[in-house]
Structure 1
Amino acid sequence: MEKNPINPTDDDARALARDLIGAARFGALGVIDPDTGSPMVSRVAVVPDQAGLPMSLVSDLSHHTKALKADPRCSLLLGEPGDKGDPLTHPRITLMATAQFIRHGDPEHEKLAAQFLHHQPKAKLYIGFADFQILRYDISAAHLNGGFGKAFVLTPDDLAPTR
């Protein structure tokens, strides 16, 4: 009988997942290209919102925004490979989500924009442009690779901040 490579989710895995999300300042956003139906990945800026969940700032001019407006399903890969050793031994998390756009004038926009600027102050140059909006990720599942032999499947509840 083949051993399941997925470990039971524990508090250490939950903490590592939250730490990866909280520390991320950019990630790889996977979307479905509406013109071809093929997967497409692009780099986006990422910061944690007040609940510790990721959000991005995106422009209507970008191809990934066009793709998300056609099909809001996406994935977001977070985690840095580090400076030394095998990059595949460093922790990373893939979040499966649905995109939610928060435009200028939406009740949450001002609060989220301030949070974004706290972590990405250079975005002040363009965050007020009409074509930019906050992108929140409504997470449905997550796959955490905490290093060799440390694979976990997490739920949205696993990513919620501890109280």
Structure 2
Amino acid sequence: MSDDPAFEARKLIRAARSATLATQADGQPFASLVTPATAPDLSPLLLLSSLSEHTRQLRAEGRCSLLFTGAAEGPNPQTAPRVTLTGQAAPVPEGEAAALKARWLDRHPYAALYADFADFALWRVEPGGALLVGGFARATRLKLVELRPDPVAVAALEGAEPGILEHMNSDHAEACRLICTRLLGGAEGPWRMAAVDVDGADFVMEHMVLRLAFPAPVADAAAVRRALVAASKAARAAHKSNEG
């Protein structure tokens, strides 16, 4: 793990394809599996059905928590890094829902089959704080001000994201493919960059999604370019090594 626990926590949260959602009704805790994505500012996004027990509970009480878990280092599950994030859940307002739902679908493309069903709606969890457990007996409590990415950098990347995606997918498709197949262990095929934020980038091919975590948080498009150039060089070197 790096020396920045907030960055480590954000990497776990942004990379997660599933998480455990904890809600409650009349004081009785209730846990369920959910499939999160993240808004650029790190707020978890959840596509929830109004028919689900946890959705009914969130409508009555929005306070909740999410557990994001990484891979264990060995046979002991306690060595797995994980983040417990507390926050307040609410449906995403209609004016914001389309863009954030598209972002959620980029993380979960298989869900396009049911995402537009009438009972599904996008929810956002506004974080309140987090506990990062970096492995066995390694815990760090993070206040919201520590956990959140730099808002200036978030705004800069939101504005630059469409241009970055267009440039990478139109002009550097081969670099995208090599990053995914040589650095991230993905299958061969036409990978495309689907999203970028201050902590990394998402790549998609059909129903498969891979996450490239940057070595450190980035502040602007120029820093994204440097991170992607470095990843591309490492991928090409790995490709040449494999060929040799």
> CA RMSD for the aligned pairs?
1.8
Deviation of 1:51 after TM superposition, in Å, equals: 2.3
Q: Is 1:90 aligned with 2:80? A: yes
Q: What aligned pairs does 1:1-163 form with structure 2 within 5 A after superposition? A: 12-34=4-26, 37-82=27-72, 84-102=74-92, 106-162=94-150, 163=219
Deviation of 1:123 after TM superposition, in Å, equals: 1.0
Counterpart of 1:113 in structure 2: which amino acid? K
Decide whether the 8 Å contact of 1:18 with 1:52 is kept in 2. Answer: yes
Which is greater in Rg? 2
Partner of 2:233: none
Of the two structures, which has the highest relative contact order with CA contacts closer than 8 Å and spacing of 6 or more? 1
Q: How many residues align?
A: 150
How far apart are the structure 2 equivalents of 1:115 and 1:23? 14
Q: Given the two structures, how large is their TM-score scaled by the length of structure 2?
A: 0.58
Q: Given the two structures, how large is their TM-score scaled by the length of structure 1?
A: 0.85
Deviation of 1:83 after TM superposition, in Å, equals: 7.3
Q: Tell me the SS of whatever aligns to 1:130.
A: coil
Partner of 2:171: none
Q: Tell me the SS of whatever aligns to 2:11.
A: helix
Decide whether the 8 Å contact of 1:142 with 1:155 is kept in 2. Answer: yes
Structure 1: state its 5+ residue gaps. Answer: 1-9
How far apart are the structure 2 equivalents of 1:82 and 1:149? 14
Q: Tell me the SS of whatever aligns to 1:146.
A: strand
Runs of 4+ in 1 over 6 A off after TM superposition: none
> Once the two structures are aligned, what percentage of the paired residues are identical?
38
Counterpart of 1:131 in structure 2: which amino acid? D
Deviation of 1:11 after TM superposition, in Å, equals: 5.1
Decide whether the 8 Å contact of 2:19 with 2:69 is kept in 1. Answer: yes
